[in-house]
Each structure stands twice: as C-alpha cells, then as structure tokens.
C-alpha cells in the first residue's frame, strides 16, 4: 500500500513539474550570455546565435544599447490620427534575447490607435499626456467582455497577450502614451487591415457571412484597405 501511495505521489509531482516547465518555456527564450547584439549580416565573424544572429561580444559598444529620439513628437496627420514608434531588437540591437520592447504612441485630438493584437506579448500602457479611452476584449470563452477605462497622465493599463485592444484620444489636445511589451518581437495585427486588406483578399462570401451584411457593404469596406 505504501509503495502504491509513494508511486502516486511521485507521479503527481512529476506531472506538476512538467506543467511548470511548459509554462516556463511559454515566453521569449532566456538569454544564455550577458548580451547578444543583433546583426543583419554575417561578416562580423564569429557568429553567436541566440534568437537572431549576434555580433561578436568583443565588437559590441555602448551604441548597440542606445536608441535616441523617443522624446520627439511624431506626425499624426493620417486617417487615424495616431503614430506608433516601436523600439525593438530591430532598431535597438542590444535588446536581442532580453525579452522586452517598448513604444511611443502619439495621438492627434480624437486620434485612434485602432483595434489590434500583439500575438507574442502582454502590453503595459502608461499615459504621459492627454486623456485616453482604452480597452480590450476578452476571449470567446470569457464571453467577449469589454474591459475599458478612461486614463489620465500617470495612469497605467494592462492589455493581456493576444487580446484585441485599442486606445482613443478623447481630448481636444494631443496625447502621448508609453508602452512596454513583454517580448523583443511583440508582433502586431491590426484587425481591420488583416480582415479587409489581406493579400490576397479574403473571399467576399466569407466576410459577408461572418459579418452578416450584404456583399456591397463588404466591397465598400475592402476598398478602403486595398
């Protein structure tokens, strides 16, 4: 009897350990060295691979870990009235393997950062200037609930990984937000662009049935994203 109980306890602990390991690996890989400055070419031999190709540590400098200009307001003269400046391993090579990135989001009055998804990262947004209405929608299993708040300077709001979210400037002046993301490559899928502006386009028949509208409406919307 004691032997059976011991085996059962051991099996339970092994199952728990296996589940813990699965959770531990559900993020960017942990770096195996102090840093791994990304490069886009292979002539800086030797190459150390850890996610992206890495510059020889002996050839790295402080500039590899520096990004300048995030204090500069961006141009928001577009249809949405917003502009996102992302700082990731693509333009700050020293971020490679460190599992984080950030962004500045500029909003014109009533500007919108439209419905979008970060498939690889959770987002933390901090309002620097202005007043934003921000929110995210939970998964189908949770009933697609909307979680939203009006945010003021100094307020922080979290968008869980992979969920649709947005920010709208509801003020009469410009707004600025800073964003931190839990991946060096968070990815972004703008819902409207992906749905109505894919290449090649999604079949009108598919979209007509999905949105329960007629084909004319779908074609009109697609024309704005082609």
* Each residue's pLDDT tens digit, 179-195: 999 998 898 999 999 99
Radius of gyration of the chain (CA): 22
Annotated binding site for Mn(2+): 116, 118, 123, 165
Query: What local confidence, expressed as pLDDT, does residue 7 receive?
Result: 53
Annotated binding site for oxalate: 113, 118, 123
Angle between helices 215-223 and 204-211 (to 10 degrees): 110
How many separate helices (H) and strands (E) can be counted in the chain? 4, 12
Residue 101 has pLDDT above 90, yes or no: yes
Query: What local confidence, expressed as pLDDT, does residue 174 receive?
Result: 98
Instruction: Kindly report the average pLDDT of the chain as a whole number.
Output: 87
Q: In the chain, which residues fall in CATH 2.60.120.10?
A: 1-187
Cα gap 93→104, rounded to integer Å: 18
Which of 135, 136, 127, 134 lies closest to 174 in space, CA to CA? Answer: 127
Residue 45: both structure tokens together: 């031999």
Contact 66, 78 (CB under 8 A): no
Query: What do you get for the CA distance between the two ends of the chain, in Å?
Result: 70
Residues 6+ apart with CB under 8 A from 199: none
Lowest-confidence segment of 27-31, 82-86, 102-106 by average pLDDT: 27-31
Q: Look at the pTM and tell me if it is higher than 0.75.
A: yes
Residue 18: both structure tokens together: 């296996």
Query: What local confidence, expressed as pLDDT, does residue 23 receive?
Result: 44
Contact 119, 189 (CB under 8 A): yes
Query: What local confidence, expressed as pLDDT, does residue 190 receive?
Result: 98
pLDDT band (50, 70, 90) for residue 52: confident
Annotated binding site: 113, 116, 118, 123, 165
Neighbours of 210 (CB within 10 A): 11
Residue 15 has pLDDT above 80, yes or no: no
Cis bond upstream, residue 53 (ω within 30): no
Residue 64 has pLDDT above 50, yes or no: yes
Residue 149: both structure tokens together: 């708040």
Cis bond upstream, residue 212 (ω within 30): no
Q: Which CATH superfamily is domain 1-187 in?
A: Jelly Rolls (2.60.120.10)
Which of 171, 165, 213, 172 lies closest to 191 in space, CA to CA? Answer: 165
Angle at the Cα of 145 from the Cα atoms of 157 and 85, rounded to 5 degrees: 35
Percent of the chain scoring above 70 in pLDDT: 80
Residue 45 has pLDDT above 60, yes or no: no
Q: What is the pLDDT of residues 120-177, one digit of tens each?
A: 999 999 999 999 999 999 999 999 999 999 999 999 999 999 999 999 999 999 999 9
Q: What is the dihedral of CA 15, 21, 22, 26, to 10 degrees?
A: 160
Query: What local confidence, expressed as pLDDT, does residue 135 receive?
Result: 99
Which of 134, 88, 127, 140 lies closest to 112 in space, CA to CA? Answer: 134
Cα gap 206→212, rounded to integer Å: 10
């Amino acid at each position: 009897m004691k032997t059976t109980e011991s085996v059962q306890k051991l099996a339970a602990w092994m199952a728990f350990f296996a589940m813990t390991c699965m959770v531990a690996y559900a993020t960017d890989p942990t770096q195996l060295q102090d840093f791994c400055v990304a490069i886009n070419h292979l002539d800086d031999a030797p190459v150390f691979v850890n996610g992206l190709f890495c510059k020889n540590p002996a050839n790295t400098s402080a500039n590899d870990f520096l990004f300048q200009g995030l204090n500069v307001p961006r141009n928001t003269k577009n249809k949405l009235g917003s502009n996102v400046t992302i700082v990731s391993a693509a333009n700050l090579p020293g971020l490679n393997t460190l599992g984080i990135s950030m962004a500045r989001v500029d909003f014109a009055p009533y500007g919108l950062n439209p419905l979008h998804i970060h498939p690889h990262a959770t987002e933390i947004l901090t309002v620097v200037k202005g007043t934003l209405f921000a929110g995210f929608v939970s998964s189908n299993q949770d009933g697609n609930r909307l979680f939203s708040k009006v945010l003021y300077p100094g307020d922080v709001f979290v968008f869980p990984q992979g969920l649709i979210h947005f920010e709208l400037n509801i003020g009469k002046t410009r707004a600025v937000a800073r964003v931190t993301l839990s991946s060096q490559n968070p990815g972004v899928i703008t819902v409207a662009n992906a749905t109505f502006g894919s290449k090649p386009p999604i079949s009108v028949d598919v979209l007509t049935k999905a949105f329960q509208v007629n084909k004319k409406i779908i074609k009109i919307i697609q024309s704005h994203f082609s």
